[in-house]
């Protein structure tokens, strides 16, 4: 279960008769923690209490199992309940439902189906239909289509009208009678109808018509299904074609990741193009070393195309084989179409090697290919290299060349700021001011930052009134931006306070759509729920109040990225509605963040600012680097932090919301200690790592937080720090408790 709605799944499914015994204090505390979005803490609370209980009662055990389930410790949840003599009779199937979910999460689908069915037979009301759907999903996963079809039909008959279209699709997938299946798929609403082609293939497969199913999957463009079924039918030619076409066409997709596993086990590459396609799919899914093996074989056996040799160079860079990568890029540069990219990448590798030819390679590339999008970066790197060597005059020449050729390019903005900082440090304040004015004049990317620094230089020149005027105008015009908020402090304006009335209530149409999404999540149809949310994003309502209602309600349900996107659209449609600010800077897990911040003595507004910047409150967020969860922790960082806290940790627990926050808050606290309480440095290290920040702090001027920020050489990290610090001030303005 991916979303916040799942946190109250068992409250919805298992709220039956009064408990057979009074819950203990520990159970009540755990329930309070779970409701506050802290399932891992709830599980730990009950685990500690269990150690003190000589004979825990049924209520205590079930609460413990529910806590373990929410904390994704599924084996523990199962072990607490299996074999209990009161299991079937407890609270109208509540314990059975918990055990069923644990079994399903552990992949024991047949057992899960039986427990879900038993739980449905012992409960009443809407819980019957919801549990029956989940039984159907478990039967389907267990390879028992007839029982799955029966369960979906029973769930529809029990009255889930809001999601009937999606249930018809699921029922059709496991119905052996294709005539019945195709009737179920007729006249579906547009959103559910998109799943009909795949369902028709599944229905033919369930009916034993494998050849017909294969044709349906081909028409539906289901390459992975075609490959799997082709293998089952021993049609390896068709399976191979579908598999390698999928990997070549969409190498970063989840289906391509699955295709890699099939290819390596059952259909290893034969042709050169197949090796390259396999490598392109391996690379984004954590198998760059294996991808390199495939590409090297392809090149050795005759693939000398520029595209393949470029890929070879890229993979050798990832493997740290820089000199070999340089040779690959040099070879690719013989092809006229690939030459610009190959020359640029070769120059970057030479730079990484510290090769004396790097500067000539970069300057030659910029001179030969001035229209290439990488040319400004090449010029910037030339200036950067010379700066590191202490050749400020040479660096200024290349930075000046960059600014003259590409005045509005982001790299030109960086060059202006580097030159302005040097001029100010040398006492050439008029030159620094001229550079900042030029940034503003050409409307370059950092014009807002330039206005702030122009104020600072103006003040250094002795014109306090002029500086005050610049900052005051900036604070008004960029009131929600980092530099506008920073300027606010310079002119001694009071702290920003933003109040907003309650958000609008959803209209009946919005409420019905939200109820449908909730029901899909509760029924275990997560992919359908995601499709419903994507449909809202693709066709948002025009009415600002409806947009705001959607944004607010999706945020509360854990769909953070979608909520913020709709919040920005609401702000554009109604720019003066202060309620949009709380939608854009939402805080759905308020209690959990504040509790973790308090435990590790960090500013809760800083912690929530990081969470918003990292994941936008998506508990399943996954970065390209492999960082996971709300606080976007790398598995290694999470494990190391957990060890320092003496917390039991397994990699599969990393996205448990409050455990992720717990480790994230501890990591932030450690960074703050490491950097002497400097928030700017700690936030930069949260994004870029400790070692780069230690190097940056050694630069001249880095003792000043404002200058340190501008000196960060990584554009991503510089923007990240600005974003977090801006978020912190806005969260404080929106959520701080007023004081007398």
pLDDT digits (tens, 9 = 90+) for 449-469: 999 999 999 999 999 999 999
Question: Span 590-735: which CATH code?
Answer: 1.10.530.10
> Which of 265, 236, 251 has its CA nearest to residue 295?
251
Q: What phi, psi does 13 have (nearest 5°)?
A: -85, -25
CB atoms within 10 A of CB 94: 24
User: Are the beta carbons of 63 and 87 closer than 8 angstroms?
Assistant: no
- Nearest-angstrom CA–CA distance, 27 and 317: 54
DSSP state of 502: P
pLDDT band of 23, cuts 50, 70, 90: low
Mean pLDDT of 111-137: 96
CA torsion through residues 252, 258, 261, 265, sign: negative
Token pair in block for residue 437: 């004015």
CA distance 727 to 517: 29
Give residues with Cβ within 8 angstroms of 324, minimum separation 6. 316
pLDDT band for position 12 (50/70/90)? Answer: very low
Reduce the DSSP state of residue 315 to 3 states and report it.
helix
Give the mean model confidence (pLDDT) for residues 28-48.
83
Q: What is the mean pLDDT of residues 251-263?
A: 95
Residue-wise pLDDT tens digits, 533-572: 999 999 999 999 999 999 999 999 999 999 999 999 999 9
444: left (phi over 0), alpha (psi -120 to 50) or beta: beta
Q: Are 26 and 46 in contact (CB under 8 A)?
A: yes
The answer to whether 612 and 727 have CB atoms below 8 angstroms apart is yes
Kindly report the CATH class assigned to 508-584: mainly alpha
pLDDT at 13 over 60: no
Q: Do domains 4-159 and 508-584 have the same CATH topology?
A: yes
Nearest CA-CA partner of 127 in 16, 1, 238:
16
CA distances from 129 to 19, 158, 287, 691 (A): 23, 5, 43, 55
Q: Which residue has the tokens 């799955």?
A: 148
Percent of the chain with pLDDT over 70: 96
203-211, long-range: CB < 8 A, 24+ apart: 203/172, 203/173, 203/174, 203/175, 203/176, 203/178, 204/178, 205/229, 206/145, 206/173, 206/174, 206/175, 206/176, 206/181, 207/175, 207/176, 207/177, 207/178, 207/181, 208/176, 209/178
DSSP per position, 216-236 = HHHHHT-HHHHHHHHHHTT-H
Contact (CB, 8 A) for 485 and 496: yes
Is pLDDT of 260 > 50? yes
Instruction: Answer yes or no: are the C-beta atoms of 20 and 59 closer than 8 Å.
Output: yes
Task: Give the whole-angstrom CA distance, residue 441 versus residue 589.
Answer: 43
* Residue 203 pLDDT level (bands cut at 50, 70, 90): very high
pTM of the model: 0.89
Residue 88: count of CB within 10 angstroms of its CB: 14
Fold annotation for 4-159: 1.25.40
With a cut of 50, say whether residue 650 has pLDDT above it.
yes
Please state the φ and ψ torsions of residue 597, each to the nearest 5 degrees: -60, -40
Q: Tell me, what's the pLDDT at 724?
A: 98
Give residue limits of the domains in the chain.
4-159, 222-303, 508-584, 590-735
CA distances from 604 to 591, 633, 648 (A): 10, 18, 25
Q: Read off the pLDDT of each residue in 184-194 and give the average, rounded to a whole number.
A: 95
Pair of tokens at residue 110: 């047949």
Show the CA angle centred on residue 695, arms to residues 690 and 698, nearest 5°.
130
Length of the chain counted residue by residue: 740
Q: Tell me which residue of 122, 113, 117 sits closest to 154, measured CA to CA.
A: 117
Query: Could you tell me which residues come within 8 angstroms of residue 376 by beta carbon, excluding any fewer than 6 positions away?
Result: 402, 405, 406, 409, 410, 411, 412
What CA–CA distance (Å, rounded) separates 169 from 159?
A: 16
Residue 18 has pLDDT above 50, yes or no: no
With residue 650 as reference, give the H or E element that holds it.
Answer: none
């Amino acid at each position: 279960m991916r979303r916040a709605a799942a946190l109250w799944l068992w409250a919805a499914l298992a709220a039956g008769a009064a408990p057979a015994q009074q819950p203990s204090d520990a159970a009540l505390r755990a329930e309070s923690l779970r409701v506050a979005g802290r399932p891992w803490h709830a599980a730990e609370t009950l685990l500690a209490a269990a150690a003190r209980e000589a004979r825990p009662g049924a209520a205590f055990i079930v609460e413990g199992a529910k806590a373990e389930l929410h904390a994704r410790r599924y084996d523990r949840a199962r072990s607490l309940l299996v074999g209990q003599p009161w299991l079937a009779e407890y609270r109208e199937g509540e314990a059975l439902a918990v055990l069923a979910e644990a079994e399903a999460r552990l992949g024991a689908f047949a057992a899960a189906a039986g427990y879900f069915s038993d739980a449905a037979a012992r409960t009443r009301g809407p819980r019957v239909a919801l549990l029956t759907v989940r039984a159907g999903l478990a039967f389907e996963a267990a390879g028992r289509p007839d029982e799955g079809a029966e369960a979906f039909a029973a769930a529809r008959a029990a009255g889930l009208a809001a999601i009937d279209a999606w249930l018809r699709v699921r029922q059709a997938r496991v119905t052996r009678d294709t005539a019945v299946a195709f009737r179920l798929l007729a006249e579906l609403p547009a959103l559910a109808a998109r799943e009909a082609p795949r369902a028709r293939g599944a229905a033919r497969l369930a009916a034993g018509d494998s050849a017909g199913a294969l044709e349906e999957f081909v028409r539906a463009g289901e390459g992975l299904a075609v490959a799997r079924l082709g293998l089952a039918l021993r049609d390896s030619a068709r399976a191979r074609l579908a598999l390698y076409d999928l990997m070549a066409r969409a190498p970063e997709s989840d289906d391509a990741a699955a295709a890699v596993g099939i290819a390596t086990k059952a259909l290893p590459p034969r042709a050169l193009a197949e090796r390259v396609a396999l490598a392109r799919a391996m690379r984004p899914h954590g198998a760059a070393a294996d991808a390199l093996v495939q590409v090297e074989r392809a090149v050795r056996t005759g693939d000398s195309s520029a595209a393949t040799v470029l890929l070879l160079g890229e993979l050798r860079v990832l493997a740290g084989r820089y000199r070999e990568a340089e040779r690959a890029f040099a070879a690719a540069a013989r092809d006229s179409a690939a030459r610009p990219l190959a020359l640029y990448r070769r120059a970057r590798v030479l730079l990484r090697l510290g090769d004396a030819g790097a500067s000539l390679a970069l300057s030659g590339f910029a001179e030969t290919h001035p229209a290439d999008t990488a040319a400004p970066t090449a010029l910037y790197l030339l200036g950067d290299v010379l700066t590191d060597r202490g050749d400020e005059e040479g660096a200024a020449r290349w930075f000046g060349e960059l600014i003259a050729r590409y005045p509005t390019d982001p790299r030109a903005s960086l060059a202006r700021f580097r030159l302005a900082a040097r001029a100010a440090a040398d006492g050439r304040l008029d030159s620094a001011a001229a550079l900042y004015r030029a940034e503003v004049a050409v409307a370059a990317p950092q014009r807002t930052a330039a206005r702030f620094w122009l104020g600072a230089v103006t003040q250094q020149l002795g014109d306090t009134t002029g500086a005050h005027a610049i900052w005051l105008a900036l604070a008004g015009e960029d009131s929600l931006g980092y530099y506008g908020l920073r300027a606010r402090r310079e002119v001694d304006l009071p702290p920003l306070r933003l109040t907003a009335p309650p958000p609008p209530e959803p209209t009946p149409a919005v409420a019905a759509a939200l109820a449908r999404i909730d029901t899909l999540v509760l029924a275990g149809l997560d992919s359908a729920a995601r499709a419903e949310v994507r449909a809202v994003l693709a066709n948002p309502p025009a009415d600002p109040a409806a947009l705001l209602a959607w944004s607010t309600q999706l945020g509360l349900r854990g769909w953070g990225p979608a909520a913020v996107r709709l919040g920005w659209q609401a702000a554009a449609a109604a720019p003066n509605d202060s309620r949009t600010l709380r939608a854009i800077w939402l805080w759905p897990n308020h209690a959990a963040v504040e509790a973790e911040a308090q435990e590790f003595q960090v500013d809760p507004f800083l912690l929530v600012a990081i969470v918003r910047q990292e994941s936008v409150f998506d508990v399943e967020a996954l970065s390209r680097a492999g960082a996971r969860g709300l606080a976007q922790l790398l598995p290694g960082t999470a494990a190391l932090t957990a060890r320092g806290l003496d917390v039991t940790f397994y990699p599969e627990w990393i996205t448990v919301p409050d455990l992720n926050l717990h480790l994230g808050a501890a990591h932030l606290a450690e960074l703050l200690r490491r950097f002497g309480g400097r928030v700017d440095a700690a936030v930069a290290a949260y994004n870029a790592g400790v070692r780069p920040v230690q190097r940056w702090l050694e630069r001249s001027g880095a003792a000043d937080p404002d200058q340190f920020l501008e000196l960060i050489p990584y554009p991503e990290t510089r923007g990240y720090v600005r974003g977090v610090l801006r978020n912190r001030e806005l969260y404080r303005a929106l959520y701080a408790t007023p004081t007398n």
